[in-house]
Structure 1
């Protein structure tokens, strides 16, 4: 989307900028990758985790960039180039990108969802709900970005500030009234959401995750809290107060604080009446409703969605009616049934807490002597602390466990599995198998199962690839599960 503007008109919200050169230069686009610079580009020199964009300023100017956003000036400052020197290029880029695309987040009702678990489900449920209520909507999630029925592939939980504002501008131009997005801790820390105007924020829960990036749990909490600290007075902040850090999240927010809970008094209060593989019966604010989605974790997700919809001005009865028809997002407790009555569940659970939530739900849903078989792995180049914990949790709730490869990335899969194996209690050695090949692991689980058994395939959910040494190879847990069921049926 080319959109030529004067540089000076983009700097209104950027604090403490020093301009070297001509401020009224025309900017045709904003570029983060120096290789993609075109004549008239504003090149942003970002300090990334792997590469420092300041190294490529000369490349960018050589390709025709007319302006450079940077924290440090290059050794040679060209007179025909405008340099905007700031304290933090990422934060400044957020404000500039918002201005460049005409502040699109102010043209829609933008609601952000943050927390360790439940972000995708809550954002997707809100998207589905508001479409069912008759609104045109946008979705920004881990699974996919979507404008009405058009799916736009997703590479990060939250895109960079330029891509994000471009997407929001596209949504606004197509008359979307509401946009629902996952807000990751990375996106807050890296200023990807800086400059956006939110109508509301939702907090689901917080447990250990992404410590490879944040280093400490406190830093991780601060990143999540930073989202609520930045909400305006006009917004709502809806928090799960059953999570002991729910109140911490909103202690410095200017937004209107609202709460939801299954355990204590709250503005949006729920109670599970019954929960089976067929569905869940709940009482929400003294109204009984049957839902197609199941599990205690989904009870929290539904409460968050219900609360947000009411806070956005929707009528309670209409919201509950439409919510009762919603299905789980892809790869979130997604159920499949074989001809001989084996239940396969594919779930994205890739943190100890998420895995425990899913397995606890399965435990509560068991009717009799069904065996629970869990196939689980851990991603490479990520928080290694959770690996033994994941294996221990799988053993606690399962009759059999198969530890396998997830997305090893640049690590040796067997090194990851060795770390997972350390969490297996000695009494559970016999029921635990290690199979590096994920395809083989799922086949074994499926072909050895007895009618009535429940197989959980955890960790990848909606993903249709395996990331091995930087290459994404096609791999889909659901496809392999269907292959197993076809073999069982003799097809």
Structure 2
């Protein structure tokens, strides 16, 4: 975990008053905060929260040995706090997040922070904004699924939205290094698990909402409610919302902060396209926005969903004070995020792409995008992850069969589940004929797809995108769709 160089201090007594905790033991000063015992530094407050399988209090001794001077925990965890002061609260996650924000003096409020949420598009919108800010000379930070950036420095991301202590430390480092903006993805998990408490954005943006993560949220309304939390005065000053989905319109109708609406074609929306025209390797477009602003330009991004992502990025950039004329000049050079319709080209006659699509809507969208530029067949490879939302598996299978000319079903991080069982759930209700097929081994599936490809075709390998590992029965081995696809292309006679 990266931390700011500048010293920060807080007292247990002050934090007890902030979060309504009871202090057990002497008051003292602490200088950092973390929930990971292996990342403890001398002077830290250690957060011991109940997890899904084990209570963090079991790591208190380890944290103290590494230099933790106090613990934030609940009544259960208090029993483990022998000889170390403790702050005790019922809601440890909220308290930890609020203490982290307070310790680092609310760094997100000192940056022009932008939070992006939605089922699909978060990574692309965030990446586009980061590229725009860089192009106009504004140093910025980026936090998301693929990577974390502080200016030009690149850090590995462990999850879409970091835990609260890590997030606030990152924002403090960005402030210390004079970043002007923070652009980050905000997941529904982060909102539900209180990681965002104490955070505040100048702008919160909503891309869309379709079925995903129902293993965690149980139903779509609960999923929507989790994301809708971001669009309140607690978390944001203003909202940018795409209203083309029913949930987007619902959100725009219910929020109490200022709203800017966006749509691909609905002229009622503040930002919308007035014209789009497909050209070789891209789209020329005209977009209207706030106050009648007109941006006419060209993008190399493919697919209607990427036009939605681009429009959102442009609208936010204008709100951040970037000249629309400058944006029009920048837009042709903007590229998508890693693993998002990312081309793999070794001079072959057919086109080949890797994409992170792992929800029914995302699969349909990327296949529709490929159809726009594919004169031949679309050959697509797809699997579903294990230990995740099983209800979307038949829907993803249906989306693959409906959108591709050749559908190849395979494994994608089966984790603790049997790949064959996942594949049965994907395909049980489907009727498909050769050359569509089930190929359980992912490497073999990609090779089969490439072997079937002819000039004018498109090969799509879906689901993993930027990921570089494959988890089977608890063991993660190196696996990068981009590399495997490139090797298959190279090996084809």
Q: Do the aligned partners of 1:272 and 1:283 also contact (CA within 8 Å) in 2? A: yes
Residue aligning to 2:296: 288
State the match for 2:242 in structure 1.
240
- Aligned pairs (5 A) from 1:254-403: 254-264=256-266, 265-275=268-278, 278-285=281-288, 286-367=294-375, 370-403=376-409
* CA distance in 1: counterparts of 2:73 and 2:254, whole angstroms: 31
Question: How much has 1:65 moved relative to structure 2?
Answer: 3.6
Secondary structure at the aligned position of 2:344 is classed as: strand
Question: 2:445: which partner in 1?
Answer: 441
- Structure 1 residue corresponding to 2:205, chosen from 192, 202, 205: 202
Tell me, in whole angstroms, the C-alpha distance in 1 between the residues paired with 2:42 and 2:339. 43
Q: Which residue of 1 aligns with 2:291?
A: none
In structure 2, how many angstroms separate the alpha carbons of the residues matched to 1:344 and 1:12? 56
Q: Relative to structure 1, is the Cα distance of residues 438 and 232 closer, same or farther in structure 2, using a 3 angstrom cutoff?
A: closer
Alignment partner of 1:46 out of 37, 43, 49? 49
Q: Give deviations 1:447-478, integer Å, cap 9, x for gaps.
A: 22111111111101111111223332111111
**Residue 51 and residue 77 in structure 1: after superposition, are their counterparts in 2 closer, same or farther (change >3 A)?**
closer
TM-score if structure 1 supplies the norm length? 0.92
Distance in 2 (CA, whole Å) between partners of 1:78 and 1:155 is 29
Distance 1:74 1:151, change over 3 A: closer
Of residues 16, 23, 40 in structure 1, which corresponds to 2:20? 16
1:70 paired residue among 70, 73, 86 = 73
Residues 407-453 of structure 1: per-residue CA shift (max 9 Å, x gap): 111111111111111142x2x23342111111111111112211111
Structure 1 residue 319: Cα displacement: 1.8
Q: Distance in 1 between matches of 2:295 and 2:77?
A: 64
- Please give the alpha-carbon distance, in whole angstroms, between the structure 2 residues aligned to 1:396 and 1:58: 55
Q: Which residue of 2 aligns with 1:474?
A: 478
The 1:60–1:474 alpha-carbon spacing in structure 2 relative to 1, beyond 3 Å, is closer
Tell me if 1:101 matches 2:101.
Answer: no
1:395 deviation in Å? 0.9
Aligned pairs, number: 483
Question: C-alpha distance in 1, partners of 2:444/2:19?
Answer: 56
The CA RMSD over aligned residues, in Å, is: 2.3
Contact 1:231–1:254 (CA<8 Å) still a contact in 2? no
Q: What is the TM-score with the length of structure 2 in the denominator? A: 0.92
Q: 1:397 offset after TM fit, Å?
A: 1.7
Q: Does 1:408 align with 2:414?
A: yes
Q: Alpha carbons of 1:76 and 1:298: their partners in 2 closer, same or farther (altered >3 Å)?
A: closer
Contact 2:16 2:87 in 1 (8 A): no
CA 1:13–1:434 in 2, change beyond 3 Å: closer, same or farther?
farther
> Aligned pair in 2 of structure 1 residues 191, 212: CA closer, same or farther (>3 Å)?
same
Query: 8 Å contact 1:54–1:72 — kept in the other structure?
Result: no
Secondary structure of residue in 2 paired with 1:284:
strand
Gapped regions of structure 2 (runs ≥ 5)? 289-293
SS of the equivalent of 1:281 reads strand
- Segment drifting more, 325-334 vs 262-271: 262-271
Asked whether 1:417 is paired with 2:423, we answer: yes
Structure 1 Cα separation of the partners of residues 76 and 485 of structure 2: 55
- Name the counterpart of 2:11: 7
Segments of structure 1 that go 5 or more residues without pairing to the other structure are none
What secondary structure, in the 3-state scheme, does the structure 1 residue paired with 2:52 have?
Answer: coil
CA distance in structure 1 between the aligned counterparts of 2:235 and 2:37, rounded to whole angstroms = 34
Deviation at 1:238, TM superposition (A): 0.2
Paired residues of 2:78 and 2:88 also in contact (CA < 8 A): no
